[in-house]
Structure 1
């Protein structure tokens, strides 16, 4: 049975020989140039998809995994079977950029994890969660609930967790109205508010009521009603929306943005992440399962 041989993007078979596909070769040169000049794998993939550049006969959809394979394919500098499409110097420069980005991402991940260390809670019971690392599993990192009666353990890689949080943050940046809390249902006065109200009524019924006391109690009543309403959250939401309007979507986790918007995170079964904002709003991801492709986790640079 004849074997079907894989031919890298940029090449084609002609008269039994592997030759350069010039249209695809031009795309490869563009990819290397963009990557070396600072573009991310994701942004390059999105641009090629938007321009409907074919990746194969079946699809014109690109993703960062496909871009990464091209960036890392040494065949493009030529070998015994493949003619060169790019210069070796350009290939080495792209490799150096990748190494630098990996190092930078690792350092940023450490900064992000240090920030999240005390801000991750269990979605089941609300108790704090603690990060653990074990080399016995494919996904080495996990977050364990500190409540022994709960015992929830969520296995999710550092990279994937920070990516999910970044997606949620970007959703807020693109839609600042998400920060607006739902109005609380009107409810009866609390016992404390009723007590203050009775004291005001009692003072008013006296023959010689004290104006000073009534003023003090009225202010106390106003403070109590404010505390029991969601007015402070509405004000906080208004301020937060103005701050978010000055933000731009991020490709990597931003500790500064997180501190401005988020109060804490909850982790649930399947790696479900919910971001709890400082305006008392929950922003959840749409993935119910922690589907992590090992290859893509390793190439997100």
Structure 2
């Protein structure tokens, strides 16, 4: 096994000739079998990593890109100096599965992007962002701030954006405490609270204060203080946490989960994504700026 691969996984050099590496070939056959049977690229990669199957002398960590390259490599049916590891029927079946999944992924991506379309804001200024598509760039999709004074543009593919959102959604599902809103900073009493307080004080200073009026104003004051506190958000967070506790981590973007939990997302430089929940919490890939996992 080579430290750095110059020939495809599944083959090795012996006496100056490319030959099949039997242990690796067995892994390849299992990869094709699992993929054709319905396993995702990521789940196959995760399983091989858990099993500590070496990819090279340097690593036994697999990712879906490596699995995808194996699935798409025509050398495994025998090409030039390479002997066949799988038969053509398996290769064609895997290719058909790949095509079907790509079509299904496109449909799911379109559904997810349509849901996000009115819920993406600029991290720099907070203005809504508009999705653009251009064939002039390797990454066709981008999001442009609608604020002319800002002009921020973030280039990120639909698949990558939805993948990031899914990762953050799974983080919430695994850590429901992230839905708790940040404690609000203490602020001065509002004009409404001050006015009700003055009315109560004025009534108390009268020679014959009205107990009924004082009670009514006290109830009004309590209601106003409650409305201006984060108590309602705390209650909403408690309800949301119970709902999320019934959810399970997802491999793909789940529109229903997103709609239940997220109010909007912000996009920042470098493709940073932050989810803003309906409970006024923030979860992002930059934990220095968002709620942290504990």
- Normalized against structure 1, the TM-score is what? 0.88
* CA–CA separation in structure 1 for the residues paired with 2:49 and 2:5: 26
* CA–CA separation in structure 2 for the residues paired with 1:249 and 1:115: 19
The higher relative CO (CA closer than 8 Å, separation ≥ 6) is in: 1
C-alpha distance 30-217 of structure 1, shift in aligned 2 (>3 A): same
- Can you list the C-alpha shifts for 1:199-254, whole angstroms capped at 9, x where unaligned? 23333444554454444323322221111111111111111111111111112111
Match of 1:147 in 2: 147
Match of 2:111 in 1: 111
> For 1:14-53, what aligned pairs fall within 5 Å after superposition?
14-53=14-53
Q: Aligned residues, how many?
A: 285
* CA–CA separation in structure 2 for the residues paired with 1:215 and 1:132: 58
Match of 1:299 in 2: none
Q: Does residue 171 of structure 2 align to residue 171 of structure 1?
A: yes
Question: Which runs of 5 or more residues in structure 1 are unaligned?
Answer: 289-301
Q: Does residue 283 of structure 2 align to residue 283 of structure 1?
A: yes
* CA–CA separation in structure 1 for the residues paired with 2:110 and 2:155: 18
Match of 2:242 in 1: 242
C-alpha distance 257-69 of structure 1, shift in aligned 2 (>3 A): same
- Normalized against structure 2, the TM-score is what? 0.90
> For 1:22-101, what aligned pairs fall within 5 Å after superposition?
22-101=22-101
1:265 shift after superposition = 0.8
1:6 shift after superposition = 3.7
Could you tell me whether the CA contact under 8 Å between 1:121 and 1:129 is conserved in 2? yes
Q: Which moved more, 1:144-153 or 1:213-222?
A: 213-222
Could you tell me whether the CA contact under 8 Å between 2:133 and 2:141 is conserved in 1? yes
* CA–CA separation in structure 2 for the residues paired with 1:231 and 1:118: 28
Could you tell me whether the CA contact under 8 Å between 2:5 and 2:56 is conserved in 1? no
1:119 shift after superposition = 0.7
C-alpha distance 5-125 of structure 1, shift in aligned 2 (>3 A): closer
Alignment RMSD: 2.1
> For 1:211-290, what aligned pairs fall within 5 Å after superposition?
211-286=211-286
Question: Which runs of 5 or more residues in structure 2 are unaligned?
Answer: 289-294
C-alpha distance 87-211 of structure 1, shift in aligned 2 (>3 A): farther
